Amino acid sequence: MSTDVAVVESAHGARFDESLAAEHDAERGLMVTIAKTILISLPVMIGIFLLMTLIAISDKTDWYVWVGLGVGLGVLGALLLGSLAGATISAHRLDAVDRATYD
């Protein structure tokens, strides 16, 4: 089974190229927004997870254990939360490309 899409030669024209360019622009904007939201949520999530590990295990372990755990979990949380927030914030761009007509 092939993953190539067969396009009829007459259908591949200016309309197809314009819609493809608009889709690429929307996807680039989506990636930029996701990267920005990850960077914004990184210090917030690290702070939250550091505070949680400080409260939970700081009296039972050495400082570098709970700091490392808090930072590691904060980075994972920022990646997940930032990706979700970025996709949610810029989903309207992809919808606008789907609704647009290129005559």
pLDDT, averaged per 10 consecutive residues of the chain (103 residues), comes to 68 75 90 96 97 94 95 97 94 85 61
Q: For 13, left (φ over 0), alpha (ψ -120 to 50), or beta?
A: beta
Residue 61: its pLDDT value, please? 92
| Alpha carbon distances (Å) from 76 to 23, 25, 45, 71, 93 | 29, 28, 9, 9, 26
Residue 81: its pLDDT value, please? 96
Residue 2: its pLDDT value, please? 72
